[in-house]
Structure 1
């Protein structure tokens, strides 16, 4: 199993909550990732590419596994900060 996802990574939970609210209101994921994310993936609109089991930290991988294609996660906390994840693919 492999997944593809994009994310927005920020240091403050309050900012993550605000960005998620903006996404729920129709904001463009790519635009917010490019503007706010602290991850180098921001230059690709947050796209992390394809990854398999054990390639991402557990909380991130667990969230992606449960998501449906095209959906946006709740705020996910890891040692890197606060993520908002958009699942963009899955293959067996």
Structure 2
């Protein structure tokens, strides 16, 4: 079976905003609450949850970051055509 990843993300328009949110995460703030507050993606309403996805389902930069991280990792900012993502890996299979 092909590898799949489950991830949540927070999508914002600037690298500075992404770094500010990362600082909040590093000081113990809740990822899902920050996603609801700041993410420009509709998934923000669900705490940033994108569900399970396989290779080829996301833009390359997002996919590369997601598939190279482990469960529980938070990575970013990752720049794509949509903006800057902070990605939290919530599952691997």
What TM bracket, shorter-length normalisation?
A: over 0.9
Structure 1, unaligned runs of 5 or more: none
Unmatched tracts of structure 2, length 5 or more: none
SS in structure 1 at match of 2:89: strand
Counterpart residue number, 1:76: 78
User: What CA RMSD, in Å, does the superposition of the two structures yield over aligned residues?
Assistant: 0.5
Structure-2 residue corresponding to 1:58: 60
**Paired residues for 1:1-92 under 5 Å:** 1-91=3-93
Per-residue deviation at 1:31? Answer: 0.3
TM normalised by structure 2 equals 0.96
Q: TM-score, normalised by structure 1?
A: 0.97
Aligned length: 91
